């Protein structure tokens, strides 16, 4: 599948691979700040901050997506994010204790989030689970050096709210990006009663996502055993069924 108007900002470690692809790329140097040398330094923040600074100076239209070297992509993702007007979001597979991290969509709008670690975050999403239109990238937009709050801090710096989010991947019912590594995957078991969930007909896309992660082997779903999943709204976590009301 061709990817027109595609460009990437990468480290020198990807030089040979980037040249083989024939796709345009730019190398950036982003050393770790000295004050974080001995601390619990959040990985990838200095890289992304350098990329954001370069984009602010050199690019005026397009879509920003933070793709990591531990991500595997369905190429349909790149076609979908081209439609992003402000901020788009979509599920990320093989991440967190639920086997997936995703917005929860009701009647075509994002209303909550499904992620095993809410962290008191406004936007509990994975770095690979959103894209941003460059027109939204203000001068003050940045990413904090705070472990676990990189995504949330960046999105908050854009002054967006949940009503601005555009759900992709068929209303967040399909998975087009995964976290992958060379290790045996410990598939989580999630306690879910589909008889109750299916009564929420306006959450059909979320129910379809749960079926998707089960059929693809990312998680096991059982009505009696497993982790009790929660839904996050407004930085608060709720039991799944009560959170969907």
Q: How many helices (H) and strands (E) does the chain have?
A: 8, 15
| Cβ-based neighbours of 22, under 8 Å, separated by 6 or more | none
Written as six digits, the tokens of 164 are 């601005």
Question: Is 164 a known ligand-binding residue?
Answer: no
- The full set of domain ranges for the chain reads 8-244
Catalytic residue status for 151: yes
Digitized pLDDT (tens) for each residue of the chain, 245 residues in all: 445 555 565 555 555 555 666 667 777 777 676 666 666 677 788 889 988 999 999 998 999 999 988 999 999 999 999 999 999 999 999 997 999 999 999 999 999 999 999 889 999 999 999 999 999 998 889 999 888 999 999 999 999 999 999 999 999 999 999 999 888 888 999 999 988 888 899 999 999 999 999 999 999 999 999 999 999 999 999 999 888 87
- The CA distance from 168 to 83, in Å, is 9
Which own/partner contact pairs does 136-144 have at CB distance under 8 Å and 24+ positions apart? Answer: 136/86, 136/87, 136/160, 137/52, 137/55, 137/56, 137/64, 139/56, 141/52, 141/56, 142/49, 142/52, 143/45, 143/48, 143/49, 143/52, 144/45
The answer to whether the beta carbons of residues 92 and 100 sit under 8 Å apart is yes
Residue 50 near residue 143, CB atoms below 8 Å: no
Q: Residue 54 is inside which H or E element, if any?
A: helix 45-58
Confidence (pLDDT) at 183: 82
Candidates 150, 151, 166, 212; catalytic one: 151
| pLDDT of res. 181 | 84
Tokens 């689970």 belong to residue? 129
SS3 for 44? Answer: coil
| The domain over range 8-244 is classified in CATH as 3.20.20.150 | no
Q: What is the model's pTM?
A: 0.88
Residue 235 to residue 245: CA distance in whole angstroms: 17
């Amino acid at each position: 599948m061709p990817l027109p108007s595609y460009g990437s900002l990468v480290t020198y470690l990807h030089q040979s691979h980037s040249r083989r692809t024939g796709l345009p790329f730019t190398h950036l140097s982003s050393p770790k700040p000295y004050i974080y040398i001995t601390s619990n330094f959040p990985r990838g923040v200095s890289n992304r901050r350098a990329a954001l600074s370069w984009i602010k100076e050199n690019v005026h239209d397009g879509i920003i997506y933070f793709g990591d070297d531990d991500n595997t992509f369905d190429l349909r993702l790149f076609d979908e994010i081209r439609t992003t007007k402000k901020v788009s979001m979509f599920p990320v597979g093989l991440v967190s204790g639920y086997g997936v991290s995703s917005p929860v969509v009701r009647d075509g709008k994002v209303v909550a989030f499904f992620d095993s670690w809410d962290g008191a975050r406004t936007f509990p999403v994975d770095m690979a689970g959103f894209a941003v239109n460059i027109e939204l990238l203000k001068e003050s937009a940045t990413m904090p050096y705070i472990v676990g709050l990189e995504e949330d801090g960046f999105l908050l710096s854009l002054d967006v709210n949940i009503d601005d989010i555009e759900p992709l991947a068929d209303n967040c019912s399909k998975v087009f990006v995964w976290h992958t590594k060379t290790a045996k995957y410990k598939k989580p078991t999630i306690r879910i009663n589909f008889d109750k969930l299916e009564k929420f007909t306006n959450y059909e896309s979320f129910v379809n996502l749960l079926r998707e992660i089960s059929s693809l082997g990312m998680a096991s779903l059982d009505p009696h055993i497993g982790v009790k999943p929660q839904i996050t709204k407004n930085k608060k976590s709720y039991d799944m069924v009560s959170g969907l009301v």
